[in-house]
Amino acid sequence: MRAKQSAKSEKKSRKKTKKWREIKKKLIKKSTVYRLREFLTVLRYLKEVNLLMKVLVTGANGYLGQGIVKAILDRGHEVVAADFTVQNVDDRAIKKACNLFEIEDPYTYFEQPDVLLHLAWRDGFIHYSDAHIMDLPNHYVFLQKMAKSDVKTISTMGSMHEIGFYEGSIDENTPCKPESFYGIAKNALREVAKVYCMQNGKTFQWLRGYYIVGNSKFGSSIFSKITAAAEDGMKTFPFTMGLNQFDFINYEDFCEQVAAACTQDAINGIINICSGRPEKLADRVERFIKENNYDIKLEYGKFPDRPYDSKAVWGNNSKIEKIMNKKAKL
């Protein structure tokens, strides 16, 4: 008798369990649909208020481009990454391997971005390369096409070399008297980009970069060259006296600042991507060698200082500080 009652009770319990599982499935399904609808509603709102954007990044496969693409993606934005090759670009991005200067309608081809972040540039560290001047017409035409499209913001990478020889803190009102082909070309493109944006009602941003510190051997800075030399087993590295003071910014911080600046439109115009403080070149390089445990020594005085390098120059970081502080609160 007890066995029969136990069997009945077990059968009843199984029915209840089965029924509860079915109810639970329905609840989960409804909850998932609800959450999905809620998520899509939030997503639409974020796009409407420009908190989520589609950003076209040119030069995305380069040393800077790779880190900046990652930083923008990490902020939740969508990235269309363009370069001649894109094999080193974060896989979360929409990749476009192309010559962007040959595209007739870049806005449509690059899937109608909200923001153009124009990093593409040849021979950035070869300051007297003819490529800087020869490529200018291509940059002009590309920016003109984008300015006449429905893109909202045109953000372009600049350089402190637009300024030329100058001592002290650089802000957006510091006069530009460039002394290298690189500086001349960047300065000319800045002025053209500003006019294109004014004529077409676009948000204009010029992100003026300073000295980037990173331990990738694939860059062209002195830090990349020292990294490559150390990895090749070299024990000495030819150097200047290193007395000039510059504004140094770590690679990761640089990428974060660019990502934050181009995905907002409250603070615009010329924005310094910098640390905001000067440091002797020799001190920063020696510290870099120590930080990375490189077994290499600097050969001081092997090279003269470049005549167009300032004795002490740094960026005013007030605008980028406001942007970073605002982003941190979100």
Q: How far is 13 from 5, CA to CA, in rounded Å?
A: 12
Q: How far is 288 from 322, CA to CA, in rounded Å?
A: 28
Q: How far is 14 from 23, CA to CA, in rounded Å?
A: 14
Catalytic residue from among 34, 107, 128, 182: 182
Q: How far is 282 from 274, CA to CA, in rounded Å?
A: 19
Q: Do the beta carbons of residue 164 and residue 177 sit within 8 Å?
A: yes
Q: How far is 27 from 10, CA to CA, in rounded Å?
A: 25
Distances from the Cα of 116 to the Cα of 17, 81, 270, angstroms: 56, 11, 16
Stretch (H or E) spanning 205: strand 203-209
Distances from the Cα of 57 to the Cα of 77, 202, 288, angstroms: 12, 17, 29
Place of tokens 């007890």: 2
Strands 203-209 and 153-159: parallel
Q: What are the helix and strand counts (H, E) for the chain?
A: 10, 14
Q: Do the beta carbons of residue 19 and residue 80 sit within 8 Å?
A: no
Annotation says 251 is catalytic? no
Contacts of 254 (CB under 8 A, 6+ apart): 64, 67, 209, 212, 273
Please choose, from the candidates 159, 146, 137, 187, the residue with its C-alpha nearest in 3D space to the C-alpha of residue 55: 146
| Active-site amino acid positions | 182
